[in-house]
Amino acid sequence: MTEQSPPSEPPLLEVNDLGQRYKLPRENLFRPPGQVNALNGVSLSLNAGKSLGIVGESGSGKSTFARLVMALERPSSGSVRLLGRDLNRLSAEELRRARRDVQMVFQDPYGSLDPRQTVWRIVAEPLSALGWLDRAETRERVAAVLREVGLREPDMDKYPHEFSGGQRQRIAIARALITRPKLIVADEPVSALDVSVQAQVLNLMQDLQEHFGLSFILISHDLAVVDYLCDEVAVMYLGQIVEQGCPEDLFARAAHPYTRALLDAVPRARAGAIRPRREAPVVGSQALGRAGCPYAPRCVLADGHCREHAPTLREIGARHLAACHKAEAVLAQPAPVEAGEALVSHRH
């Protein structure tokens, strides 16, 4: 593990009160179009060399968060700072240069690699956007990153269809590595892969993290995946962080009923589960302007107070935050995952 940055240096990533609203298609000519609060007041910071996991079910705003961190779109509110620079205040040229520090790996290793390009062109693509290097130097750098992700130099003249899903995700990781970024945002990088291959790709990411002092933001709907790579985990529900802490805290001392429900869905997690009510999830648009805790409609512990007053993210332990009025009651329940009990053993 790398050392923490000295206090004088800004954090690698600092996200402040980040929000994103999307307009929904107009259903009715006589009504204003609806809106989705895809992200709502998210704040966090990440130091160099550390990795952050973001978990939550589909629609909780994880990919929106990733796009905003990558400055692929402008937020409706709040800021994203990378090494102290507010990405949304940079000129196009400054942003282009800032992009070498943060790269992305997507979920679908089939859809995200251009099938008509050879591997070396695919992997070199982020370099050309930065306007660097001649062909020979470029191929040399591609060969180097291919080796780093466990592929071979001759692979660079092949096409994506010649590789398996796991190998394609290695190609995507090589492409992300080529600018020597400080941060890689990986949005569900192993969700499309077989479980055995998932372990290999996660092992690779962990090795890269240790070897280069890289930081990852690892997005997954699967808590077991983030457990394994991350120093810190944020649980998202309807565009908000509802719990945040180190993996040990989240698993052994989950303080939000939603986190416990997620853990209960993971194989081998048991006891102390607080199952959600079987009610359809409230979509973001419905939650707009709604009073009270967004999780209250699904929460078995919710009372009148929860339905009236939205909880804020508060400290319930050292570096452990939860947005729940009932956190203390939840903590008094048996641990959702017992000490020493692995969720799912990814490492072989």
Interaction site with ligand ADP (CB under 6 A): 22, 36, 38, 56, 58-64, 283-284
For the beta carbon of residue 132, count every other beta carbon within 10 angstroms: 15
Residue (of 262, 245, 265, 241) closest to 253 by Cα position:
245
Q: Smallest gap, in angstroms, from Cβ of residue 341 to ligand ADP?
A: 27
For the beta carbon of residue 326, count every other beta carbon within 10 angstroms: 22
Q: Smallest gap, in angstroms, from Cβ of residue 184 to ligand ADP?
A: 17
The residue (of 11 and 239) whose beta carbon lies closer to ligand ADP is: 239
If one asks whether residue 63 binds Mg ion (CB under 5 A), the answer comes out as yes
Q: Smallest gap, in angstroms, from Cβ of residue 245 to ligand ADP?
A: 20
Side-chain half-sphere CA neighbours of 238 within 13 A: 21
The residue (of 61 and 336) whose beta carbon lies closer to Mg ion is: 61
- Taking CB within 5 to 8 Å according to partner kind, which of Mg ion, ligand ADP, none is near residue 36? ligand ADP
Q: Smallest gap, in angstroms, from Cβ of residue 68 to ligand ADP?
A: 10
- Taking CB within 5 to 8 Å according to partner kind, which of Mg ion, ligand ADP, none is near residue 209? none
Q: Smallest gap, in angstroms, from Cβ of residue 5 to ligand ADP?
A: 29
Instruction: Classify residue 135 by burial, with Cβ atoms within 10 Å: 0-12, 13-18, 19+.
Output: exposed
The residue (of 62 and 99) whose beta carbon lies closer to ligand ADP is: 62
Mention every residue, 6+ apart, whose C-beta is less than 8 A from residue 262: 55, 56, 57, 223, 235
The residue (of 20 and 215) whose beta carbon lies closer to ligand ADP is: 20
SS3 189: coil
Instruction: Compute the distance between CA of residue 170 and CA of residue 9 in angstroms, rounded to an integer.
Output: 32
The residue (of 122 and 192) whose beta carbon lies closer to ligand ADP is: 192
The residue (of 122 and 184) whose beta carbon lies closer to ligand ADP is: 184
- Are residues 160 and 169 in contact, defined by beta-carbon separation less than 8 angstroms? no
Q: Smallest gap, in angstroms, from Cβ of residue 62 to Mg ion?
A: 5
Binding mask 236-255 for Mg ion (x = CB under 5 A): --------------------
Cα–Cα–Cα angle for 10, 255, 244, rounded to 5 degrees? 15
Mention every residue, 6+ apart, whose C-beta is less than 8 A from residue 302: 293, 295, 296, 326
List residues near Mg ion by CB under 5 A.
62-63
